């Protein structure tokens, strides 16, 4: 199973590298320092703060909260490093994801789940202050023994997801 997943990921990275050549005809992006990004994934909205550490690398602290009256709150905190494969207006990237998912119920004790994952996506830089993008994710989650978040309390889960985002750069 793991060998099949690694093979599929390797083929995906190879395909992305080939697609990067197609985007080389796009205009080169200008340098950016930091921004604020909203990411939508299913019914969850997260805020990322991309900080550029070079021309092809950004590190984004990520925050999210879900609150339901009478039920409680769900807090997400993590980091998303992105390694861009080009510096063009259409910039494909590979990313890693690390996070903690904390539940604070109105009654009872909370739970803590962990997330580690990878992503492949592309960001379209409309101009030097605005971009939009989409990414495909594969995430390994480690559930708390009392967590019902992934329907597998106390165990590991492998999940896939797609997220769309928009970013304003300063």
Q: Considering the chain, what percentage of its residues have pLDDT values greater than 70?
A: 82
In tens, the pLDDT along 111-125 reads 999 999 999 999 999
Check which CATH number belongs to the domain holding 140 and give it.
2.40.160.20
Buried b (16+ CB within 10 A) or exposed e, 138-170: bbebbbbeebeebeeeeeeeeeeeebebebebe
pLDDT of residue 10: 46
For residue 22, give the H/E element and its range.
helix 2-22
Q: What is the mean pLDDT of residues 6-27?
A: 43
How long is the chain? 170
Amino acid 148: pLDDT: 80
pLDDT at 28: 45
Angle at 31 between CA 79 and CA 26, to 5 degrees: 100
The predicted pLDDT at position 31 comes to: 67
3-state SS, residue 34: strand
80: helix, strand or coil: strand
What is the extent of the structural domain holding 34?
Answer: 2-169
Those residues with Cβ within 8 angstroms of residue 98's Cβ, 6 or more apart along the chain or in another chain:
78, 79, 115, 116
pLDDT per residue as tens digits for the range 66-121:
888 888 888 999 999 999 999 999 999 999 999 999 999 988 889 999 999 999 99
Q: Which two tokens stand for residue 11?
A: 């083929």
Distance CA 145, CA 149 (A): 11
Number of structural domains (the chain) is 1
Q: Which conformational region is residue 108 in: left (phi greater than 0), alpha (psi within -120 to 50 degrees), or beta?
A: left
């Amino acid at each position: 199973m793991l060998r099949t997943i690694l093979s599929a990921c390797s083929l995906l990275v190879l395909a992305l590298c080939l697609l990067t050549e197609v985007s080389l005809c796009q205009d080169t992006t200008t340098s950016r320092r930091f921004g604020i990004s909203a990411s939508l994934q299913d019914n969850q909205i997260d805020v990322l703060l991309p900080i550029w550490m070079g021309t092809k690398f950004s590190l984004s602290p990520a925050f999210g909260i879900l609150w339901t009256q009478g039920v409680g709150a769900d807090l997400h905190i993590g980091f998303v490093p992105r390694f861009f494969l080009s510096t063009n207006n259409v910039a494909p990237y590979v990313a890693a994801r690390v996070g903690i998912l904390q539940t604070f119920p109105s009654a009872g004790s909370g739970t803590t789940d962990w997330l580690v994952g990878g992503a492949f996506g592309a960001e379209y830089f409309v101009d030097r202050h605005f971009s939009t993008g989409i990414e495909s994710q594969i995430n390994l989650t480690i559930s708390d023994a009392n967590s019902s978040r992934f329907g597998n309390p106390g165990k590991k889960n492998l999940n896939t997801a797609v997220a769309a985002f928009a970013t304003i750069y300063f």
